[in-house]
Amino acid sequence: MNVILDLCVVPVGVGVSVSNYVVACEKVLTEAGLTPHLHGYGTIVEGEWDQVLGAVKRCHEVVHEMGAPRISTTIKLGTRTDREQTVADKVRSVEEKLQGR
Amino acid sequence: MNVILDLCVVPVGVGVSVSNYVVACEKVLTEAGLTPHLHGYGTIVEGEWDQVLGAVKRCHEVVHEMGAPRISTTIKLGTRTDREQTVADKVRSVEEKLQGR
Amino acid sequence: MNVILDLCVVPVGVGVSVSNYVVACEKVLTEAGLTPHLHGYGTIVEGEWDQVLGAVKRCHEVVHEMGAPRISTTIKLGTRTDREQTVADKVRSVEEKLQGR
Amino acid sequence: MNVILDLCVVPVGVGVSVSNYVVACEKVLTEAGLTPHLHGYGTIVEGEWDQVLGAVKRCHEVVHEMGAPRISTTIKLGTRTDREQTVADKVRSVEEKLQGR
């Protein structure tokens, strides 16, 4: 089962700057064989369920190891069985319609 | 690693009534040994990461098997290493302060 | 337009305990004439769009005034035009099916 | 109060393809004077609270007018008082660290 997942990890109790933790998560996702697409409020990954969700678990482990005592994460997660669809497909189908093609 | 998770599974492409799918997910979570707490916009579960996230995967499989071609799920997910805290602890700490205790 | 909203306000940069901020938000919602239903990962409110979203804005203002320099909030928000449905209706329709009624 | 907001509008009860509704929302956001940044699981906007949240309300109105009887939206929403920070700032601070600068 393939999944497209939007991940936003918020470390709590480590001050106001969280970019070091976001950087660490980007590395974890890449090391898991995924290609994260960073955006303004999270990062998008796609792949086989266990690979993707295993990487999310590893993000929590790493952020705790870096010293964050508490993490509050928000995830959006889509699966479909009617057809294969990549992140690039999703974005393209909207952008083409926006441009009137 | 213990997790408290808020799960909201939205089946897409099966009409406007989704309660049968929500019911199926409640059963999946219970069969996984969890105790789901249903609320007005999702359900709360807590437990070991792999047990909880495995049950979420099973929810997607079951909702697809029931005929939903597409699912869009929103998850909030908290872990902490500073101390153990259950769902009941979280709610109680707020309610006691609200009541001025 | 009526809305059912799940609100989870996470203050960032104020330490690991956030229950005082959650309590303040519960009070803001109540003062706005809403009836918040606290659960294990947020609180549920329902009402007219402007009333509900105005109260969410007030929560951010109050949590900043309490000293939180940064807030990351997650909201789920449902509207429907086919029929009126309260939070109690939503929960009841699932619970009755779970109990085989 | 400035806000960075991640918006994901899911129309329910209108079939499996939702890109027309996403396109309509992009137009609503642009007409509201915002600059939406589409990504693989939503779109990012930033601006003054009332302008941004007013545009979100208009998205719900338009998607209902297009025929969707039910909408389930997920929003992540960040405010901060310690300093001004744009979406571009947030992304750049992570990307620079990822590239070892």
pLDDT digits (tens, 9 = 90+) for C59-72: 999 999 999 999 99
Q: What is the 3-state secondary structure (H, E, C) of chain A?
A: CEEEEEEEEEEECCCCCCHHHHHHHHHHHHHCCCCCEEECCEEEEEEEHHHHHHHHHHHHHHHHHCCCCEEEEEEEEEEECCCCCCHHHHHHHHHHHHCCC
For C42, counting Cβ atoms within 10 Å of its Cβ (0-12 exposed, 13-18 middle, 19+ buried), the class is: buried
* Closest CA–CA distance from residue B56 to any residue of chain A (Å): 11
Would you say residue A101 has pLDDT above 90? no
Helix axes A87-98, D19-31, angle to 10 degrees: 60
For residue D53, the chain C residues in CB contact (below 8 A) are 53, 57
Tokens found for residue B27 = 């059963």
Q: Which H or E run includes D12?
A: strand D2-12
Report pLDDT digits (tens) over D36-80: 999 999 999 999 999 999 999 999 999 999 999 999 999 999 999
Tokens found for residue C61 = 């203002």
Using an 8 Å Cβ cutoff, are C63 and D55 in contact? no
| pLDDT given at position B100 | 81
* Cβ contact C81–D69 (<8 Å): yes
ipTM over 0.90: yes
B64 in reach of chain D (CB within 8 A): no
Closest chain B residue to A73 measured between Cα atoms? B77
A57 in reach of chain B (CB within 8 A): yes
| pLDDT given at position B4 | 98
Give the global pTM: 0.96
Mean pLDDT of A39-62: 98
Closest chain B residue to A12 measured between Cα atoms? B80
Beta carbons within 8 Å of B17's beta carbon, 6+ residues apart? none
CA–CA dist A76, C72 (Å, integer): 16
